[in-house]
């Protein structure tokens, strides 16, 4: 007769705990994890045809840097509540980091509703309810080009974590910022959605090779830029070359 398999107390408890976590309602563990929930607003109204609810799970650990998107989903929205289901990779979550939900509703590329308070992320939640608030119409029509922008991607190669490459644009066309090692300054010619950067003077500090490489690519991207586009909802700036290829992506600071 085969002997029964004996499992120690601690391994057995670990197996039970794992099974309980996997069976939490609204959370399905496979290669990734799925969480369901609702985007909710309090106004008694139907949404315009074609309205879309977007939900993002973000890393909001750094107060002086844009949130990093862990997962994102968009679903058609007609009224409140709007149900959603979002998949994320638990392997992207880092110990000691802070994560939160952000939700919005747009129609015809105009932001109608957005979250205005932090909705903390709980991986064991059985359902997520994200309350969004109406945005005043005059607050969503434009996001000015002038101001400070943080580079999120340079020529499709991303950027180095914790190395801030910035661009500041003034109302008179003066530009300044930090390439990741050296400060720079100069001017830009802006006409409608057209933009071109003149010669940029820079300090001459030496930094780590990786930082210098990113700085060189950043200045090359600025030199190639010919048009710009601003995503109001996501608060992002895109610079494109003559062929329409995005050479740099920024987030508003």
- What confidence score (pLDDT) does residue 19 get? 37
Per-residue pLDDT of the chain (253 residues; tens, 9 = 90+): 444 444 444 444 433 334 333 333 333 334 578 999 999 999 878 888 899 999 999 998 886 677 889 999 999 999 999 999 999 999 999 999 999 999 999 988 788 999 988 899 998 887 899 999 988 654 444 568 889 999 999 999 999 988 899 999 998 999 999 999 999 999 999 988 899 999 999 999 999 999 999 999 999 999 999 999 988 778 899 999 999 999 999 998 8
- What confidence score (pLDDT) does residue 57 get? 95
- What confidence score (pLDDT) does residue 134 get? 87
Q: Considering Cα of 36, then 233, then 241, then 158, what sign does the dihedral take?
A: negative
Contact predicate 59/99, CB 8 Å: yes
The total number of residues shown for the chain amounts to 253
- What confidence score (pLDDT) does residue 162 get? 83
Taking the CA of residue 91 as centre, how many other CA atoms within 13 Å lie in the half-sphere pointing to its CB? 4
- What confidence score (pLDDT) does residue 31 get? 52
Instruction: Output the pTM of the full model.
Output: 0.49
- What confidence score (pLDDT) does residue 88 get? 93
Contact predicate 70/122, CB 8 Å: no
- What confidence score (pLDDT) does residue 64 get? 64
122 contact partners, CB below 8 Å, separation of at least 6: none
- The DSSP bridge pattern shows strands 33-40 and 27-29 to be antiparallel
- What confidence score (pLDDT) does residue 137 get? 57
- What confidence score (pLDDT) does residue 51 get? 92
Contact predicate 74/52, CB 8 Å: yes
Please spell the DSSP secondary structure of 101-163, one letter per residue: EEEEEEETTEEEEE--S-EE--TT-S-EEEE-EEPPGGGSS---S-EEEEEEEETTS---TT-
Q: Rounded distance, CA 217 to CA 128, Å?
A: 41
């Amino acid at each position: 007769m085969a002997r029964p398999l004996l499992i120690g107390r601690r391994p057995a408890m670990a197996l039970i705990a794992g099974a309980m976590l996997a069976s939490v309602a609204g959370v399905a563990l496979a290669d990734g994890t799925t969480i369901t929930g609702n985007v909710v607003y309090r106004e008694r109204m139907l949404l315009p045809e074609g309205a879309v609810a977007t939900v993002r799970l973000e890393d909001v650990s750094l107060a002086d840097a844009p949130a990093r998107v862990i997962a994102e989903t968009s679903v058609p929205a007609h009224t409140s509540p709007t149900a959603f289901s979002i998949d994320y990779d638990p392997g992207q979550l880092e110990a000691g980091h802070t994560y939160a939900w952000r939700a919005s509703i747009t129609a015809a590329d105009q932001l109608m509703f957005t979250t205005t308070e932090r909705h903390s992320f709980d991986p064991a939640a059985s359902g997520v309810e994200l309350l969004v608030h109406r945005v005043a119409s005059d607050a969503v029509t434009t996001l000015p080009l002038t101001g400070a922008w943080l580079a999120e991607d340079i020529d499709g190669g991303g950027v180095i974590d914790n190395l801030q490459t910035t661009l500041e644009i003034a109302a008179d066309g003066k530009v300044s910022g930090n390439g990741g090692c050296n400060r720079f300054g100069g001017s830009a010619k802006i006409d409608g959605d057209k933009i071109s950067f003149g010669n940029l003077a820079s300090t001459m500090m030496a930094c780590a090779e990786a930082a210098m490489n990113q700085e060189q690519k950043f200045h090359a991207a600025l030199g190639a830029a010919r048009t710009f586009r601003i995503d109001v909802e996501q608060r992002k700036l895109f610079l494109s070359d003559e062929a329409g290829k995005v050479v740099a992506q920024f987030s508003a600071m």
